Structure 1
């Protein structure tokens, strides 16, 4: 849509941790500056890739406040405010608004929550009380709730409901969401160029943490309909983007980012570092990205 504010890459930025497992704010500031220099113009703070589920509510709120202060209007900000209790989602969303976020990303009810369309609609209608634009999160393989085209149409009747991020990984289902004519954001790394060709409104991209310059180049080529150029750039990105989607996603993004020079430390427990064997496979998949990204420094 022409008035959609979150086109292009919205980086689901990894949360840096120090050796004690605490959020490393000094490193976060440096990473944000480097991603801005690489051309990233949208950030998702406290994202899934940023280990939202393993941050306390206060840590998540502090992370959003700090990140927004560093970004300081130089890029769009989406904050994930997902929680089990609606009241907590509303509180987190109001805090994100106070920090200057332009939208929030919110999972539908999960962990034995309502799974029917009426329950999902009522949940998002309640979150809308906080007043910020809402990006719904379609990841049925993780939460057991699917946002279908018919449900998306209904959700977009809520004035604050802006779009859905589709991380199902199913291109045919994502294309069906796109055909509604409503804003859809791709959240599946291996689908990026295909999703852009299908007409998604924007991207929320975790894998861009380890290859921001190359990802920005790919998106620019696709937006300008230089599909031959996009396919050539995707040739470099595809092996790693496909591999991280096959399992150990967060650990793989942290490991790959360290390999390409955008390290955020280790993921927080209970997640562990990627095993040596898997790291070797990942390093091979990254290939020439290390050199491409080095030239961006």
Structure 2
């Protein structure tokens, strides 16, 4: 859809932490500058990959505020504003709007929240009144609520609801969502090439944080409908994108960004860094990506 506000690659930024587990804003600025230099034109702040659920409300807000100030209009900004209470989601969304965010990504009510369609529709209707375009977040394996094609159609009729990010990991179900004609954003790393070919409207991609130039090139090839080039690029990405989704996704992304020079420190407790054998497996799966990305770290 030509008027879809978040086409292409939207990078879910791994929140950098220092050795004491605090947000490292200096490293955040350095990484965002590098990502913009690599061609990234959309960012998700306080994302799942960025450990949203392990940030306090004030930390998440400070991350959105500082990130938006660094980006300063050079790329689209999506802020995750998920929370248990709808009133908190609304308040966070209004705050994100004040900071200059272009939209928000919001989980459906989780931890024993409503699972019926009307309850989900009512929730997103209230969130959308906060004034920013809303991206629903379909990750049923984590929250117990699945966005089906019929529910997506209902949600898309809400003024301000603009898309669903599908992180279900089930391409058959994602293809069914895409067939509704409603905007769908892929959020499952190993499915990226297939989702692009199937016609997804865009993507929110955590794994792009360790290979931004290569991932941007994939989207450029797909936009040009040069599927042979896209397939060649995907050949270099697929091994590591599949590996990080086998288990310990967030920890794997943090380890991989270290290996390619976009370091974000260690994931925050209770998550732990990967063991040495897993890091070596990542190094092997990255192949030439590490050298390719490491050659372009400084902003132009």
Q: What's the offset of the Cα at 1:295?
A: 2.8
> What SS is found at the alignment partner of 2:269?
coil
The CA distance in 1 between the partners of 2:295 and 2:275, in whole Å, is 28
Within-5 A mapping of 1:1-297: 1-297=1-297
Q: CA deviation at 1:280?
A: 1.1
Question: Unpaired segments of 5 or more residues in structure 1?
Answer: none
More moved, 127-136 vs 10-19: 127-136
Three-state SS of the structure 2 residue aligned to 1:130 is: coil
**SS of match in other structure, 2:79:** strand
Q: CA deviation at 1:216?
A: 0.5
> Once the 2 structures are TM-superposed, how far is the Cα of residue 176 of structure 1 from its aligned partner?
0.6
Unaligned ranges ≥5, structure 2: none
1:62-86 Cα offsets, whole Å, 9 max, x none, are: 1000000000000000000000000
TM-score, length of structure 2 as denominator length? 0.98
- Provide Cα deviations, 1:253-283, integer angstroms capped at 9, x if missing partner: 0000000111100000000101111111111
Calculate the aligned-residue CA RMSD, in Å.
Answer: 0.6
State the distance in 1 between where 2:20 and 2:262 align: 19
Cα distance in 2, alignment partners of residues 229 and 65 from structure 1? 38
Deviation string for 1:140-192 (max 9, x for gaps)?
A: 01100001000010011110100000000111111110111110000000011
Give secondary structure in 1 for the equivalent of 2:262.
coil
Instruction: Please give the per-residue CA displacement for 1:101-131, whole angstroms capped at 9, x wherever unaligned.
Output: 1110000010000011111111111112211
Structure 1's consecutive aligned runs of 4 or more residues displaced over 4 angstroms after TM superposition are none
Q: SS at 2:129's partner residue?
A: helix
Distance in 2 of aligned mates of 1:296 and 1:171: 33
Deviation readout 1:34-85 (Å, 9 max, x if unpaired): 0000000000000000000000000000100000000000000000000000
Q: Distance in 1 between matches of 2:256 and 2:147?
A: 31
Q: Secondary structure at the match of 2:29?
A: helix
Cα deviation code 1:171-221 (max 9, x no counterpart): 111111011111000000001110000000001000000000000011101
Deviations 1:221-256 (A, max 9, x none): 111111111111111000000000111000000000
> Quick one: distance in 1 between partners of 2:272 and 2:95?
31
Q: CA deviation at 1:294?
A: 2.2
| In structure 2, C-alpha distance between the alignment counterparts of 1:130 and 1:71, rounded to whole Å | 23
